[in-house]
């Protein structure tokens, strides 16, 4: 729903009055722009709530109504995100990865302290340096943080199927002193290793591949292009998720995006005789 500027400007004026605590109706251009963005963010939040909020206003909503309902939706999402964050912490492990710890264990609580839903709801404050499988950079504000916490929880739920020591040993093979130097995604490395273990019929839980296993992986994909390899990988992962995580269909859907990336890396590794650079193996 589009609103005319004459509907939005009075909202900016009222928000400016609150921002300056009534001391002035004049602010810098940058501040005025920030407050306009805050209003638009809340209106979009209202519109994204769909029928649930629309049913509360059976007549056409004014910009002021949309902003107020959107602001309430932002506050509700902050509380929802806090609940999800505490749920994610229950079985959470950072596996000694400093980047994950600083981003999730230190950064998210700091976000809740600093987040300003009234004047800067569009600002998610954190750089979110630990990468998740599904990027959240097309979102901002509480929407980005909510999605980020969602993704971390899905990834952590997946990693809980493996012993912490096995995950840490794998990461140590990926990069020595990974605790300080690893800036990738832990679930990515684990799932890639899972694919290799399934192919060569090794216990998946050990997350252990040797140099000799690479010949079996090569043979499995030797005649495949990227599309054929992706189909094989997706089939293997689908079976694994349905057998091991049968009650978490969202997890399979979440990780499905990696099938193509794994396929491209593996096929190129075979073509260029660089498969050891794809899988982290032990001698």
pLDDT at 283: 76
Position 25 confidence tier, pLDDT thresholds 50, 70, 90: low
Q: Give this prediction's pTM.
A: 0.94
Query: Is pLDDT at 22 greater than 80 in this prediction?
Result: no
Give the mean pLDDT of 84-107: 97
Residue 135 confidence (pLDDT) above 90: yes
Which pLDDT value is given to residue 1?
A: 63
Provide the pLDDT for residue 131.
98
Q: What is the pLDDT of residue 199?
A: 98
Question: Which two structure tokens, joined as six digits, stand for 279?
Answer: 């899988």
**What are 64-77's pLDDT values in tens digits?**
999 999 999 999 99
Question: What's the confidence (pLDDT) of residue 56?
Answer: 59
Inform me whether the pLDDT recorded for 223 exceeds 90.
yes
Question: What is the pLDDT averaged over residues 20-28?
Answer: 78
Q: Compute the average pLDDT of residues 234-259.
A: 91
3-state secondary structure the chain: CCCCHHHHHHHHHHHHHHHCCCCCCCCCHHHHHHHHHHHHHHHHHHHHCCHHHHCCCCCCCCHHHHHHHHHHHHHHHHHHHHHHHHHHHCCCCCCCCHHHHHHHHHHHHHHHHHCCCCCCCCCCCCCCCCCCCCCCCCCCHHHHHHHHHHHHHHHHHHHCCCCHHHHHHHHHHHCCCHHHHCCCCHHHHHHHHHHHHHHCCCCHHHCCCECCHHHHHHHHHCCCCHHHHHHHHHHHHHHHHHHHCCCCHHHHHHHCCHHHHHHHHHHHHHHCCCHHHCCCCEC
Q: Where does the pLDDT of residue 55 fall: very low under 50, low under 70, confident under 90, or very high at 90 and above? A: low
């Amino acid at each position: 729903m589009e609103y005319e500027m004459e509907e939005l400007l009075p909202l900016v004026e009222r928000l400016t009055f609150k921002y300056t605590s009534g001391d002035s109706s004049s602010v810098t251009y940058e501040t005025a722009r920030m407050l306009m963005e805050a209003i638009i963010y809340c209106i979009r939040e209202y519109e994204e709530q769909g029928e649930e909020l629309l049913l509360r206003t059976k007549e056409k909503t004014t910009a002021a109504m949309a902003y107020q309902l959107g602001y309430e939706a932002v506050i509700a999402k902050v509380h929802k995100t806090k609940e999800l964050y505490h749920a994610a912490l229950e079985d959470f492990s950072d596996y000694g990865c400093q980047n994950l710890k600083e981003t999730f264990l230190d950064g998210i609580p700091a976000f809740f302290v600093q987040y300003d839903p009234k004047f800067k709801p569009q600002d998610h404050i954190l750089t979110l340096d630990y990468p998740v499988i599904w990027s959240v950079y097309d979102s901002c504000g509480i929407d980005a943080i909510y999605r980020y916490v969602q993704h971390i929880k899905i990834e952590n739920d997946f990693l809980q199927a493996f012993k912490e020591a096995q995950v840490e040993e794998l990461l140590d093979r990926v990069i020595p002193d990974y605790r300080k130097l690893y800036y990738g995604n832990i679930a990515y490395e684990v799932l890639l290793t899972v694919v290799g273990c399934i192919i060569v019929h090794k216990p998946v839980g050990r997350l252990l591949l040797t140099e000799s296993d690479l010949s079996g992986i090569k043979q499995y994909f030797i005649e495949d292009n990227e599309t054929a390899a992706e189909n094989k990988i997706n089939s293997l992962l689908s079976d694994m998720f349905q057998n091991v995580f049968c009650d978490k269909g969202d997890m399979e859907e979440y990780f499905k995006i990696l099938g193509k990336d794994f396929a491209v890396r593996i096929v190129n590794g075979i073509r260029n005789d660089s498969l050891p650079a794809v899988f982290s193996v032990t001698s």
